[in-house]
Amino acid sequence: MFKIIRKKGVTFKKRTGTGTTYMPLFLLCLLVVLIGCATVSSPTPIEPTHVLSSEIETILGDPLLAASNVGVKVVSLSNGRVIYENDADKLYHPASTMKLITAAAALVKLGPNYRFHTTLFADGVEDDNVIGNLYLQGRGDPKFDSGDLEKFTEKLSAMGVKSIDGDIVVDESYFDDIRRGKGWMWDDGPLGGYYSHLSALTINHNGVRVRVSPGRNIDDPVDVHLEPPTRYMKVVNEAATVTASDATRLSIKRQWKPVEANVLTIRGSMEIGQADVNRQVDVVDPALYCGTLLKEKLAQNGIMFRGSIRHGVVPERALKIANHVSVPLSRILWGMNKSSDNLTAELILKTIGAELKGAPGTAQKGIAAIGEFLKEIGLDNSRYTLADGSGVSRYNLVTASALTSLLTYMFNNFAMMPEYLVSLPIAGVDGTLKRRMNDMRAGGILRAKTGTMRGVSTLAGYTMTAEGEILAFAVLMSNFKGSANLRRSLQDKIGDALTRFSRDSNEETR
């Protein structure tokens, strides 16, 4: 039974005898409104960094990486906050991202305007003769070449010199005589120019360029040309020219066993009309190579020389004839990082050692000096192990956290940042990134150093988000089988995701 009750203009029902009361009408309406609002309101928005993290996790979930190790770290340079990380404090082989460390230490400790010197001395000059020896002294210039050496002989000719009484003495004492990096594999090189022998007296990247062309007629030997032309490299030509119907295979090898020697053997065959084959071949004992080229240029300039070419040291009282000064270090680092030049990195490492720890420069001294630099910027040695300057050695180990810390320091170092940043390859534009990320948002924006060796692929550098926020990142992949190209495509996707990233969820970044 219901009883109608009126109270203060509000009517409601009350069930008598049960103690149950109907809710006042305005409260009921209010509840309906609140429920309705809860039903149609938008859900709590997802933090944009969570969306980015989810995208990176999806990329890293690719089956290609199922059996591999991957370290990733992304840091905002606006506030120093970590945007994403995965196994960022585990140690990985850096491969050529090791050059980021070498370049940073060189810029800070040597200065962007540091220059290398290569100098020609003589015991003395009397009338038109050099009395005694000529001396070639190197101090680690990685860019010294035949053109620079030619200017030395031109200077002698301008002085009226017609003959050399003594020897050509090559002085590479600014460095030690260890030709390869610690931990380099026994079968690295000698073709390609990737593992050139190390010397303080360097010329033409310590190698010769070999061009092989088919002969004019069937059964003719192939034509072999060296650049620069030199007798320092002996050529054994056993390859022939064949018809287009014959199977062809050309082999170019420099002797490396039982002992390394400057003997180049060409075997196999080439078709008539086949395109030239070009190879860079490393030489044994670069200082003697440089001395031999000097001897050959003296002959070309009509200067008589009957002596020998040997190692030695410039005496204190020697007369300076000519001095070649390199381009600034900043320019040399540009070439090193863009093309991932191993020889330059190793010469810079030993130069750091010589300048900071005293000559002769050694890899150990250079690594010690770099370790001190890393300590100064807050990195302890539990986050890295260094063995060389280029990243060729598998003894190198580094964390993604260490690389992003280094990148952060260098970006915030105004005096060094422009030179450091400009040395890095640009995605889709130049260097080792020229053919990567061309059709992605990261193209033309992302700047990073690549690294590749068997079972290792790395990428570390900077990019700018859709809103102009600068990020430092490192992606280190190791322990995989097969081509690195497939892993690089995953790195490219991560780089593109970072470049598309926006903290404004309403902004279209794809």
* Catalytic residue ranges: 96, 99, 340
SS (H, E, C) 340-400: CCHHHHHHHHHHHHHHHHCCCECHHHHHHHHHHHHHHCCCCHHHEECCCCCCCCCCCEECH
In order of 10, 22, 23, 41, the CA distances from 31 in angstroms are 17, 14, 10, 15
Assigned token pair, 132: 């005694």
Within 8 A by CB and 6+ apart from 168, the residues are 133, 134, 135, 136, 291, 294, 295, 305, 307, 308, 309, 310
The whole-angstrom separation of Cα 258 and Cα 382 is: 40
Give, in degrees to the nearest 5, the angle at Cα 451 between 450 and 457.
Answer: 110
DSSP tag of 204: G
Name the 3-class secondary structure at 416. coil
Assigned token pair, 169: 């003495």
Q: Per DSSP, what are the bridge partners of residue 223?
A: 213
In order of 41, 124, 135, 320, 407, the CA distances from 317 in angstroms are 89, 9, 12, 9, 46
**What are the backbone angles phi and psi of residue 434, rounded to the nearest 5°?**
-60, -35
The whole-angstrom separation of Cα 379 and Cα 371 is: 9
Name the 3-class secondary structure at 89. coil
The whole-angstrom separation of Cα 356 and Cα 363 is: 12
In terms of phi and psi (left: phi > 0; alpha: psi -120 to 50; beta: otherwise), the region of 444 is: left
- The closest of 440, 353, 324 to 175, measured between CA atoms, is 353
